[in-house]
Amino acid sequence: MGFATAISGLNAASANLQVIGNNIANTNTIGFKESRAEFVDIYNNSASTSPGSGVRVSEVAQQFNQGNIEATQNSLDLSISGNGFFAMTDKTDATIPTTFTRNGAFQLDAEGYLTDDTGRFLLGGLPLGDEISDGFSTGAPEVLRIDVSQGAQSATSKINLKINLDSRGVQYDALIAFPGFTQTTPSVPGSPYDIPPDPAEYNNSTASTIFDSLGNTHRLSIYYRDITDTSLNPIVNKWESYAYVDGKALFYDGVSNPAFLDDASIGTVLPLQFNGQGVLEAADTGTTTGNTDPKFVFKNIDVNPLVVGADALTFTLDPTGSTHSASAFGVSDLQQDGFASGNLTGIDIDKKGIVLARFSNGSSTPLGQVILGRFTNNQGLAKIGDTSWQETNSSGSVVLGVGGGINFGDIQSSALENSNTDIATQLVKLIVAQQTYQANSKTISTENEIIQNILNI
């Protein structure tokens, strides 16, 4: 009889309708992957004349092709372009992922942990230092947490200053001190150190803001004057420069490099020497133990008379790249580290999944790096609902990595991956599945008519 065969067809068609209906229902589900019902025929024996015994569903296979990426306004929304899953766990102290998802609609819970809509926690590698270059502990996953506390201040430790000194300016005698200063040694202005130089006694100046250990700002001023002696043959292009913090001169000797802001300190020259092509060659102190590297290291600058409680400043002034040419004075680059304390203003996540906290003081701090998981056979993953999967023997063991790594896709912030369901295709499949169901129903009704005719003979 053909009833059993037709019923198997009805069951298969019904399962197909359920799969298609589920795909359509999840058209707007973030990170959803559509499924496909796969069928095999049934034979009770291997005889070549066997008509077959119907059909059965062999597998409901999910299709892991990429869904469309849609931009959002939330920087914590993440999508993956390519292979990989977000690694999730159920406990804050867990170090092993328990579930995996493509739904990157993350948010902060009350304690600052990155969680999904179901409360599961996102795993990542914690920073190994204060800079991105220090790396992250991606080999030892931990739950990612966003510290929303105030960004700590940092004292200035280096200043990179690249300038051009105009070779066409006025040359000064190296033995003449700035007016208002008592000459103590050649080319060294003396006390009182807190009187600024007379503009008539220098060519140019620069100024920048530096920070002490408490985040207080201080003004670093540098004055330059050309002491090139044009009577020499060949001419040696030399400049003097003097550094001041908050109008108080810094001491520099080119050897031990101490600098103090006290009544005993005197401003000393920071010498710069250029070759015939205007390239900075060295900072020659004029002593046998002089500094031949054009970097000036100032140590132990006591700012406590100005700001009580701050540690003494120590920083390096690096004029590497400065030039001496027949063009107007200008600053081509001025960069220094250090900053005051600041409040959290935003979170940035790059394509490698590196999470940075941005603060109102202009600083940024790495908070961690998102960890991804991938599998040899995605279709072998167990579907557990909530747009999530678990590892199985069929999927193979998880391989952890980061965005942009080997066989891992890039992570995009402020974006979500939509369902990969194509609604038009699913509607066509729905029509076909409906026709299949109706055809199998017709087989049953036809079989029933035949039986009734036989019984009525």
Residue 318: inside a domain, yes or no?
Answer: yes
Residue 152: inside a domain, yes or no?
Answer: no
Q: Identify the CA nearest to 95 among candidates 137, 32, 33.
A: 137
Average pLDDT, the chain: 83
pLDDT at 183 > cutoff 50: no
Assess whether 201 and 302 both reside in one domain. yes
How confident is the model over 166-180, as a mean pLDDT? 67
Can you tell me the distance from the alpha carbon of 126 to that of 366, in angstroms, rounded to the nearest whole number? 9
Domain that holds residue 17: 3-65+419-455
pLDDT at 176 > cutoff 60: no
Residue 344: inside a domain, yes or no?
Answer: no
pLDDT digits 0-9 by tens, 275-288: 888 888 865 444 33
Residues in the chain: 457
Assess whether 265 and 325 both reside in one domain. yes
1 or 138: which leads in pLDDT = 138
Assess whether 196 and 277 both reside in one domain. yes
Residue 328: inside a domain, yes or no?
Answer: yes
pLDDT at 106 > cutoff 90: yes
pLDDT at 433 > cutoff 70: yes
Which pLDDT score is estimated for 439? 86
How does DSSP classify residue 344? E
Which pLDDT score is estimated for 338? 85
Relative to beta strand 344-349, strand 372-374 is unpaired
Residue 342: inside a domain, yes or no?
Answer: no
Residue 341: inside a domain, yes or no?
Answer: no
How confident is the model over 432-450, as a mean pLDDT? 82
Q: Of the candidates 292, 311, 336, which is a domain's last residue? A: 336
Residues in CB range of 63: below 8 A, 6 or more apart: 33, 34, 35, 36, 420
Q: What is the per-residue DSSP string for 358-408?
A: EETTS-EEEEEEE-EEE-S-GGGSEEEETTEEE--TTT---EEE-TTSTT-
Confidence of residue 179 (pLDDT cuts 50, 70, 90): very low
How confident is the model over 113-138, as a mean pLDDT? 93
Confidence of residue 55 (pLDDT cuts 50, 70, 90): confident
Residues in CB range of 37: below 8 A, 6 or more apart: 12, 15, 16, 19, 20, 57, 60
Q: Identify the CA nearest to 187 among candidates 258, 285, 292.
A: 285
pLDDT at 102 > cutoff 90: yes
Residues in CB range of 106: below 8 A, 6 or more apart: 76, 77, 78, 114, 115, 116, 122
Q: Which of 46-55, 260-269, 318-327 has the lowest mean pLDDT?
A: 260-269
Which pLDDT score is estimated for 430? 92
Q: State whether the Cα torsion 167-169-175-181 is positive or negative.
A: negative
- Report residue 252 as tokens: 């520099």
pLDDT at 271 > cutoff 90: no
Assess whether 407 and 425 both reside in one domain. no
Q: Of the candidates 285, 301, 336, which is a domain's last residue? A: 336
Residue 170 has, within 13 A of its CA and on its CB side, a CA count of: 11
Q: Which of 37-41, 230-234, 306-310 has the lowest mean pLDDT?
A: 306-310
Q: Identify the CA nearest to 322 among candidates 243, 239, 249, 245.
A: 239
pLDDT at 290 > cutoff 60: no
237 - beta bridge partners? 274
Residue 179: inside a domain, yes or no?
Answer: yes
Q: What is the per-residue DSSP string for 311-365?
A: PPEEEEEE-TT-EEESS--EEEEEEE--B--B-EEEEEE-TT-EEEEEETTS-EE
Confidence of residue 185 (pLDDT cuts 50, 70, 90): very low
Please count the structural domains in the chain.
Answer: 3
- How many helices (H) and strands (E) the chain has is answered by 2, 30
Assess whether 311 and 388 both reside in one domain. no
Q: What is the per-residue DSSP string for 130-145?
A: SSGGG-B-TTS-EE-B
**Distance set, CA 253 to CA 182, 267, 271 (Å):** 18, 10, 11
How confident is the model over 354-380, as a mean pLDDT? 90
Residue 151: inside a domain, yes or no?
Answer: no
Assess whether 163 and 258 both reside in one domain. yes
Distance of CA 405 to the CA centre of its chain: 14
CATH label of the domain that carries residue 240 = 2.60.98.20
Assess whether 194 and 262 both reside in one domain. yes
Assess whether 382 and 362 both reside in one domain. yes
Q: Of the candidates 309, 336, 363, which is a domain's last residue? A: 336
Can you tell me the distance from the alpha carbon of 373 to that of 43, in angstroms, rounded to the nearest whole number? 41
270 or 404: which leads in pLDDT = 404
Assess whether 320 and 183 both reside in one domain. yes
Assess whether 293 and 355 both reside in one domain. no
Assess whether 244 and 177 both reside in one domain. yes
Assess whether 212 and 310 both reside in one domain. yes
The pTM assigned to this predicted structure is 0.68
Mark 365-377 as b/e (b = at least 16 C-beta within 10 Å). Answer: bbbbbbbbbbbee
